[in-house]
Chain A
């Protein structure tokens, strides 16, 4: 963190390098590539939530004029289990079975077959010609019923992982995770107040506006090129290679611009299918999902049941906390119950706690990562319980949290001791914030809650090149989902000592730059940013060597200042400083083009904490909730581009408010989602929200050269508790379940 003083470029808010193309319609997103001779693909999806697939007959479809390829589960290799790392994680065998069902359809909308034809119309007709025999099975839709001993099984080979002994009978419980510390009984015995509750939240979708899309072309040598919208084309390549049983070297992935992901575009759905179809057809194949397919077959995040019990002394100190979590995985394992368990108590310094989480198979879409996966569901319950405690103790909810706040040196519930963190700083900032000091408007209620996310580092690469005129090219491999090219340019310009405008950042394809793990886990600015800084340092070292050779002095007699090589003080060299442009101009004489590179496995991502609060008003006639004001305060470590950090905080708040107030997957008894469109899956629109006020707290992360912590995910965590607590304050009734949609609020008012 040596450079954190006197920053000239980092912390400013210039326009992003890809901006003009995105306001003029030039930018190419997933569905915007068409290739010569291209075919259009469509996917046949299961009409049943749970069914054995007895036979798939593609012959009639294949016989149709204009149909060039058709595939089903039998065309894909059966995979053994194998983990993929990171937030995109999960078992590859499960991802493979999600991409194309094999023996069983596990949710309504599960892919069963696919075709490629000369037009979308012909492809649609070909889907109708595919014959599938199903043995329909009873769907398992409720997470608690799915856990019962006599429940219908989704997978006869599912033996709960994470127990001390592998059970002898299969169940729908895919995994159990547990964390504990101290003496729970003694803790509750020491409490003056104890609160407890059960909180249910249905599945919710990431809701990115761009549906999944890709175009694949496989040539006669078996080399495939895939263009797609993805949060990580390198990881998409790995997954596709495994799922198809082909070599990584035979696949080239190009990331298009990406129209939102929020975690939902960290796993493959279409890409292996498009490659397989293209290989069979010998022509490029484009696959684009409809919005309905996006809802039925991608995302969402887990629906959950969380039980929490918390005890505290009169002075607000928590003496014990206990939680039980059940998260829906969907039809295949992969629920974020681990992070749910690890995050629920993370903001607090607790001596005694126990938390157990279960990941449960149900006949709904296989869940995908969604912004701080698993944390909003569990932390909602804890933040509501703390609100109840604050009420019983007549204590300010911020003071209660401050009394228990984790700080540097606190042992996190999930193990390590926290390095410097900004939770207390966020609470202090909230206490002083004018919106908090203001009176709650007449008839409204105020809610407070905390947010947290671990953030991750992991592997990234970056290369930096100096053009002949001294301009700088940064090449890295993380799709830019919200302005990361600008952040890379800012860090590179700062490190090199040149103006922002002199640097351009490009997102390379899998063959033009080194591996970068997905844009996810709030890792890009932290980890790839660190690689960019290191690559720039490599450039500086190279430039110093070239200047030394030019001047005939020793390398360590050259310093780098404001983007130029200068002789070190006291070095008796009668020379002119050499700028990047000078060094580039003389490069042919000093060793050829100037390149820098770095690759790393970044550690120490640095957790990000937040405090949010809001004033809400409930219309007692309609049950509608109006958000009067919303304030988000979060520790960014160091905001490289503060406007884009604010944007993350505002966007996450809006998503969290939507989740708390309206968004939910609604199912009929057959397991068919009843609201698979934006009209009925009601995400916030501009008129639903006020301005979202932000305050960025900066407690630098010592592991990053500029102090960065990830900021992308924490913002969605607090709003669920904020909304629940504000509604409680406004109407005097505690509503445990989300979303607090008008019918639920009216029912609560009627019952009171």
Chain B
């Protein structure tokens, strides 16, 4: 089967890769590009562990074909921390003990960043509904919601 050539931007880097037509973006990230920070919990769009941003939209990379990345801009967990260190959300997840095992954490942080990019001042309900596509089996969500609330507060203060 002939492979598809894809040119795309991931976390600001120009990236070229080959993939088979039915390969998902999650498989391309993990198996072709070695970006293992994006996790697979289900492969069917139900857990959010594979969450990435595609041109500012939140997508489950397990439901996206790798070939669809052509000409797009992708952000993965590897692109969240900046040159000055951790993103506020990453710091708040640590301070609030918002992870136990940590397998869901990359997906939550990418999803929460997409929320704060669009709504800098979400209330608890907005956070809970926004993150309802991300499963966490360890925390009961309490500390995750608090971490996002606190990050929003700090970002508002900085702005």
- CB within 8 Å of B: which residues of A? 13, 15-16, 18-20, 22-29, 31-32, 34, 206-211, 257-262, 290-291, 481-483, 643-644, 646-648, 650-655, 677-679, 683-689, 691-692
Contact = CB atoms under 8 A, between A and B. Distances in A.
A650 B142 contact: yes
A259 B39 contact: yes
25 contacts: A22-B99, A22-B105, A23-B102, A25-B35, A25-B36, A25-B76, A31-B40, A209-B103, A209-B135, A259-B102, A260-B137, A261-B101, A291-B43, A481-B101, A643-B143, A651-B138, A651-B140, A654-B139, A654-B140, A685-B133, A686-B127, A687-B128, A687-B131, A689-B142, A691-B146
A632 to B, nearest CB: 9
B144 A15 contact: no
Interface string B10-31: 0000000000000000000011
A211 B44 CA distance: 13
A210 B37 CA distance: 13
A26 B34 CA distance: 11
A686 B144 contact: yes
Nearest first, the 6 closest Cβ-Cβ pairs linking A and B are A25-B37, A259-B103, A654-B140, A22-B102, A650-B140, A678-B46
B41 interface: yes
Given A653-B140, A677-B42, A209 B100 contact: no
Q: What's the dominant secondary structure at chain A's contact region?
A: loop
Interface in B74-117: 76-78, 80-81, 86, 90, 93-97, 99-106, 109
Given A24-B81, A651-B137, 20 more contacts: A16-B94, A20-B86, A23-B86, A23-B90, A23-B93, A25-B37, A207-B137, A209-B135, A209-B136, A257-B101, A291-B44, A646-B97, A650-B141, A651-B139, A654-B141, A677-B46, A678-B44, A686-B144, A691-B124, A692-B140
A313 to B, nearest CB: 38
Contacts of B104: 209, 259
B47 interface: yes
Nearest to B99: A22
B61 interface: no
Contacts of B156: none
Given A481-B100, A643-B143, A15 B94 contact: yes
Contacts of A13: 97
Nearest to A481: B101
Contacts of B141: 650, 654, 684-686, 689
B142 A209 contact: no
B31 to A, nearest CB: 8
B100 A482 contact: yes
A648 B146 CA distance: 16
B140 A262 contact: no
Nearest to A213: B40
Nearest to B100: A482
Interface residues of B, number: 57
Contact of B46 (A22, A648, A679): A679
A25 B110 CA distance: 11
Contact of B101 (A32, A259, A688): A259
A291 B77 contact: no
Nearest to A654: B140
Contacts of B142: 650, 689, 691-692
B37 to A, nearest CB: 2
B102 A257 contact: yes
Contact of B41 (A26, A291, A679, A685): A291
Contacts of B46: 291, 677-679
Contacts of B94: 15-16, 19-20, 23
Nearest to B22: A121
A29 B90 contact: no
B105 A677 contact: no
Contacts of A686: 127-129, 131-132, 134, 136, 141, 144-145
B10 to A, nearest CB: 13
Contact of B143 (A18, A20, A647, A684): A647
B35 to A, nearest CB: 8
A685 B46 CA distance: 11
A678 B100 contact: no
A32 B80 CA distance: 20
A29 B101 CA distance: 10
B49 interface: yes
Contacts of A18: 102
Contacts of B128: 686-687, 689
B97 A691 contact: no
A25 B106 contact: yes
Contact of B137 (A25, A209, A290): A209
Which among A18, A23, A692 has the greatest number of chain B C-beta atoms within 10 A? A23
A687 B48 CA distance: 14
Given A19-B99, A22-B102, A258-B101, A687 B129 contact: yes
A403 B128 CA distance: 40
Contact of B97 (A257, A483, A654, A688): A483
Contacts of A31: 30, 39-40
Nearest to B31: A34
Contacts of A692: 140, 142
B138 A260 contact: yes
Nearest to B80: A24
Contact of B135 (A34, A258, A683): A683
Contacts of A19: 94, 99
Contacts of B36: 25, 28, 32
Contacts of B44: 291, 677-679
Contact of A647 (B37, B81, B138): B138
A688 B97 CA distance: 21
B135 A685 contact: yes
Interface string B44-60: 10110100000000000
Contacts of A678: 41-42, 44, 46-47, 135
